[in-house]
Structure 1
């Protein structure tokens, strides 16, 4: 099972590279913690899980994936934090919804998992507002996926996120 990749958005930034490496048959992965190299062979790949906030570039590779792997799915993180600018480096919500629908129509709704990740409470987003955001997106995506995965923001565990929120003067609160 290849997880591509929860920590680096391969479909958004490196999809051409990934397909090229898949054709070659392996990748060299360097562990970011201990800097040791490991070779990962695609020879016996049974499943690829793509994680992305913007998998639009995956669309042009669907035929290749269907012919060579076929057993893959997408964990598509689709949040509606445009107004609050919490995810400034992703396309607009409308563009991402369009990509979600197109992928679902191309590969089937069972292969496109919707992630609203993370759920976050701030001085600008209360519980009611957050629920409205999820409901609105859910109404738009309900015919294009079978699953919704959520997580709750654990801001205290991520110093970089804390710093970004502080820089933007966004106050967050923990879920209780």
Structure 2
């Protein structure tokens, strides 16, 4: 089994102590965000590896070292976009991100990190031409550090549109959803820029936008985890099946232990947060000694010891 931690929130940046406590315990509890069922998810026994999603792995470096000592491979999806503060309120600076990404690769190997330039958001602050230039600058800095960049265009859910509209009023910018052919044109440019620096461009779950030089991505990638293990001198065979979450998703099957509305980074385009105020409040309510990242308020405490599922 592969554990995802987490596409719902930034566990390495904000919840590292909790994850370490649960890793040492060997399990964590998580709530299905749709059916609200509670599951107990193993974090040691039967786990093939971990996929982490983050914008700031700095607070998590020691945790990664402990996971590696346990002989469990991991991959980090590391988001680095370099957007203006009007769009990304409190992410770490680009230079710090670049330094951390290099440190991770130097320590854990070139297959352990995937760069995410995601989502691509078209605004008057970041028009498509800006993305072409910004991406090329970042790709040049990341040559020899990562071999893949995963991208997608922002999906404008109702909450995303609401948050973008509020930010646009506050910071006086406009935003739009470009037509598909404009998106494909940009993707071809990004793919060429990435290839010039040894970085393969993959597209996350938007099969209608696939174009020359662009491949579909598998964010949860058992083969990459095997490569990481091999680089550490370990022999791993991960028998996970491809089980995408939506059309065009090539991810291998995994279990996620995160919670929506708990990441206080303040990215205006985030699909996982209704409002930053709510996320900050829920982050403040977090107990690193809990079985849950954030226990649901309706759940009775004091249950019997868990049975691993």
For residues 99-151 of structure 1, the C-alpha deviation after alignment (integer angstroms, 9 at most, x for no partner) is: 11111111112110000001111112221111111111111111111111101
Distance 1:44 1:50 in 2: 18
- Measured on the aligned residues, the alpha-carbon RMSD in Å equals 1.4
How many pairs align? 173
Distance 2:108 2:67 in 1: 10
Matched, 1:97 2:98: yes
Contact 1:118 1:150 in 2 (8 A): yes
**Larger RCO: 1 or 2 (CA < 8 Å, sep 6+):** 2
Name 2:14's counterpart in structure 1: 13
Name 1:33's counterpart in structure 2: 34
Matched, 1:165 2:167: no
Name 2:209's counterpart in structure 1: none
Contact 2:10 2:55 in 1 (8 A): yes
Structure 2: tracts of 5 or more residues without a match:
180-309
Contact 2:86 2:167 in 1 (8 A): no
Say which is worse superposed, 17-26 or 30-39, in terms of deviation.
30-39
TM-score, structure 2 normalization: 0.54
Name 1:124's counterpart in structure 2: 125
Match of 2:52 among 50, 53, 61: 50
- Greater Cα radius of gyration, structure 1 or 2: 2
SS in 2 for 1:110: coil
Contact 1:84 1:124 in 2 (8 A): no
Distance 1:142 1:85 in 2: 28
CA separation of 1:108 and 1:41: change in aligned 2, threshold 3 A: same
SS in 2 for 1:168: helix
Name 1:24's counterpart in structure 2: 25
Deviation at 1:84, TM superposition (A): 4.8
Query: Structure 1 runs of 4+ off > 2 angstroms?
Result: 32-35
Which is richer in strand? 1
